[in-house]
Amino acid sequence: MDKAKKAFAINALRRASYRWHTRYKAIKKAHIGRNEYVCQSCGQIVGAKEKQLDHTIPCVPVTGWDNFDGFIDRMFPHEPSGFRVLCIPCHSAKNLQENNERRKHNVRED
Ligand SMILES: [Zn+2]
């Protein structure tokens, strides 16, 4: 497949996931007060701007890209547990770890 087309489609799907219903449920679950969210990894309380939504199961597996069916399935989880609210350091650490795994599998970091 054309790499530019694939990247465009992946970005469009990622943006669409911001409006996915279980994402709102996951945010609501982590919301404990006015502008207060609990990081579901370290328990730190962060403001709205510091909270990040993480796909619990990486949309692109650490073993490498499989196909759009699998990607879409993971991008739009049916359960709110498919998303986690994380603080920025926890999200960065998780992404770093996943990218290290991908490197071990010698696959591109999508
Ligand atoms: Zn955290």
Q: 79 alpha carbon to ligand 1 midpoint, in Å? A: 21
Q: 88 alpha carbon to ligand 1 midpoint, in Å? A: 7
Q: 50 alpha carbon to ligand 1 midpoint, in Å? A: 10
Mean pLDDT value across residues 20-39: 96
> pTM of the entire structure?
0.88
Which helix or strand (DSSP H or E) is residue 31 part of?
strand 31-33
Please tell me the distance from the alpha carbon of residue 85 to that of residue 38, in angstroms, as a whole number. Answer: 7
Q: 83 alpha carbon to ligand 1 midpoint, in Å? A: 14
pLDDT tens string 46-79: 999 999 999 999 999 999 999 999 999 999 999 9
Residue 87, pLDDT above cutoff 60: yes
Q: 92 alpha carbon to ligand 1 midpoint, in Å? A: 9
Find where tokens 């409006």 sit: 19
Please tell me the distance from the alpha carbon of residue 87 to that of residue 76, in angstroms, as a whole number. Answer: 21
Mean pLDDT value across residues 92-103: 94
Q: 43 alpha carbon to ligand 1 midpoint, in Å? A: 6
Burial of 9 (0-12, 13-18, 19+ CB in 10 A): middle
DSSP for 44-106 reads -EE-TTTEEEEESS-SS-TT----HHHHHHHHS-SSGGGEEEEEHHHHHHHHHHHHHHHHHTT
Residue 108, pLDDT above cutoff 80: no
| Chain mean pLDDT for the chain | 94
